Amino acid sequence: MASTRVARPAPHVLLAGAILFLGAVLLALPAPAADAFNPAQTSGKKVNEVEIGYLKKVTRPTTLPASRLDKEPEDIGLAGADTALRENNSAGQFLGDHYSVKEKRVGPDDDAVAGLQELLDQGIRYVIVDAPADDLLALADATKDKEVLLFNVRAPETELRQEQCRDNVLHVAPDRFMLADALAQYLIAEEWTDWLLVAGPTKGDQAYAAAIERAAERFGGNIVDRRNYKDIPGRDRDDIGTIPGPSQGAAEGDDVASYDVIVVADEGRAWSPYAPYRGDALRPVVGTAGLMPESWHGAHSKWGARQLNNHFEEEHSRIMLPVDYHAYIAARSVGEAITRNRNADFDTIRDFIHSDKFQLNGFKGIKHTYRAWDGQFRQPILLVTDNVVVSVSPQPGFPHPSAPDVLVDTLGIDQDETRCEIYETAKQ
Instruction: Give the mean model confidence (pLDDT) for residues 339-345.
Output: 93
Cα angle for residues 323, 171, 348 (degrees, 5° grid): 120
Stretch(es) of the chain classified as CATH 3.40.50.2300: 11-174+296-380, 178-294
pLDDT band for 398, please (50, 70, 90 cuts). Answer: confident
The model's pTM: 0.88
Q: Which of 3-17, 226-240, 280-294 has the highest mean pLDDT?
A: 280-294
Under CATH, which architecture does the 178-294 domain have? 3-Layer(aba) Sandwich (3.40)
Q: Kind of pairing, strands 97-106 and 48-57?
A: parallel
* Residue 178: per-residue pLDDT: 98
pLDDT band for 141, please (50, 70, 90 cuts). Answer: very high
Instruction: Give the mean model confidence (pLDDT) for residues 231-257.
Output: 67
Which of left, alpha, beta for 123 (phi over 0: left; psi -120 to 50: alpha)? left
Q: Which of 307, 236, 274 is nearest to 23 (CA)?
A: 307
pLDDT per residue over 63-97, tens digit each? 888 888 999 999 999 999 999 999 999 989 889 99
| Contacts for 92 with CB less than 8 Å, ≥ 6 apart | 50, 98, 99, 335, 339
Query: What are the backbone dihedrals phi and psi of residue 408, each rounded to the nearest 5 degrees, phi first?
Result: -65, -20
Query: Among 40-44, 90-94, 162-166, where is mean pLDDT lowest?
Result: 40-44
pLDDT band for 402, please (50, 70, 90 cuts). Answer: low
- Whether the pLDDT of residue 7 is over 60: the answer is no
* Residue 233: per-residue pLDDT: 66
Q: Which of 152, 89, 162 is nearest to 126 (CA)?
A: 152
- Whether the pLDDT of residue 393 is over 70: the answer is yes
Beta-bridge partners for 99:
50
* Residue 77: per-residue pLDDT: 98
* Residue 15: per-residue pLDDT: 38
* Residue 257: per-residue pLDDT: 52
Question: Percentage of the chain surpassing pLDDT 90?
Answer: 71
* Residue 3: per-residue pLDDT: 41
- Whether the pLDDT of residue 237 is over 80: the answer is no
Instruction: Give the mean model confidence (pLDDT) for residues 267-286.
Output: 88
In the sheet with 97-106, reading across from the earlier edge strand, the strands are: 97-106, 48-57, 126-130, 149-152, 169-171
Contact 291, 390 (CB under 8 A): yes
Cα angle for residues 161, 166, 172 (degrees, 5° grid): 50
Contact 265, 209 (CB under 8 A): yes
Average pLDDT, the chain: 87
- Whether the pLDDT of residue 34 is over 60: the answer is no
pLDDT band for 6, please (50, 70, 90 cuts). Answer: very low
* Residue 421: per-residue pLDDT: 83
| Contacts for 85 with CB less than 8 Å, ≥ 6 apart | 33, 34, 99, 100, 101, 331
| Contacts for 362 with CB less than 8 Å, ≥ 6 apart | 329, 368, 377, 379
- Whether the pLDDT of residue 11 is over 70: the answer is no
For residues 213 and 24, the model is more confident at 213
| Amino acid residing at 389 | V
Contact 367, 23 (CB under 8 A): no
11-174+296-380, what's its fold? Rossmann fold (3.40.50)
| Amino acid residing at 221 | G
* Residue 248: per-residue pLDDT: 54
